[in-house]
């Protein structure tokens, strides 16, 4: 089995470059922000970071394809890098430090492409998390200054901390009643949003999290970090991995209960 460690090292190099570019424009008074056709914002920093990563990948891995949020898919082949240059753009443009660059390497397999490397870098928080298939998940400043991640051992919903992003998406999908029922069963709820809850599941500081609507680039990196930390990452339909257009992540012990609450009951 390939060990993917060279690819993981490259992901750190890519993230270092992206972090420098995004931090340089964070809280800039002259930051340019546009609205995309789906009415979500995109900043010049999103575009610049993705261009930077694509340029470095073109030099370091010219045979690999790339899928990015801002510029779509380029190239073909069994290996595909998946990039979200700034996950949490709305936070970024408002000066909230909860945003990250997400970098994942995926490989073609049964049922589509599957993450084999994932890195989440949140420079304004001073945090970075990463994983490679079969090697576990870690957090730290770099590869040599890192500690291993492991999900929590909480086995009862009444003891669990649950994180989410917002309420509106659950309501639009007819899942709000189950969502609210779940919030009444758990010990604690917090709306941290974006990449952060998944990383907190991986490091065991919360136990369950979910979002009703996501894109592949939102999930590819976070999925492998959660699973390599010993957790479960599926769609709300229970399908493993980042392929369902939404996500549920947990320490594994609470996963079936999490899904049961979040799927409409007839």
Q: Which residues are annotated as a binding site?
A: 69, 84, 86-87, 218
Q: Which residues contact 13 (CB under 8 A, 6 or more apart)?
A: 56, 60
Q: Which residues pair with 74 in a beta bridge?
A: 66
Which residues are annotated as part of the binding site for Mg(2+)? 69, 84, 86-87, 218
Tokens 């995004």, located at residue: 22
Length of the chain: 266
H-run or E-run covering 249 = strand 247-250
Closest CA to 1 of 135, 129, 138, 136: 135
> What DSSP string describes 70-133?
TTEEE--SSEEEEEEEEETHHHHHHT-S--EEEEEEEEEETTEEEEEEEEEEETTTTEEEEEET
């Amino acid at each position: 089995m390939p060990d993917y460690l060279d690819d993981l090292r490259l992901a750190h190099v890519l993230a270092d470059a992206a972090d420098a570019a995004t931090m340089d424009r964070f809280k800039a008074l002259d930051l340019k922000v546009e609205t995309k056709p789906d009415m979500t914002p995109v900043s010049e920093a999103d575009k610049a970071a993705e261009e930077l990563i694509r340029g470095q990948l073109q030099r370091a891995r010219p045979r690999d394809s790339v899928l990015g949020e801002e510029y779509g898919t380029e190239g073909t082949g069994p290996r595909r890098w998946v990039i979200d240059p700034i996950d949490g753009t709305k936070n970024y443009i408002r000066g909230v430090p909860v945003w990250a660059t997400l970098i994942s390497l995926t490989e073609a397999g049964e049922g589509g492409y599957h993450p084999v490397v994932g890195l989440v870098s949140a420079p304004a928080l001073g945090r970075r998390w990463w994983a490679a298939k079969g090697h576990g998940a870690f957090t730290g400043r770099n590869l040599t200054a890192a500690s291993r991640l492991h999900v929590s051992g909480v086995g009862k919903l009444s003891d669990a901390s649950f994180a989410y992003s917002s309420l509106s998406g659950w309501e639009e999908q007819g899942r709000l009643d189950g969502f609210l029922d779940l919030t009444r069963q758990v010990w604690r709820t917090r709306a941290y949003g974006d990449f952060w809850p998944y990383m907190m599941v991986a490091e065991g500081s919360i136990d369950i999290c979910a979002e009703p609507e996501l894109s592949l680039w939102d999930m590819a990196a976070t999925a492998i970090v959660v699973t390599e930390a010993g957790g479960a990452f599926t769609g709300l339909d229970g399908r493993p991995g980042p392929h369902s257009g939404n996500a549920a992540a947990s320490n594994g012990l609470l996963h079936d209960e999490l899904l049961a609450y979040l799927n409409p009951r007839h």
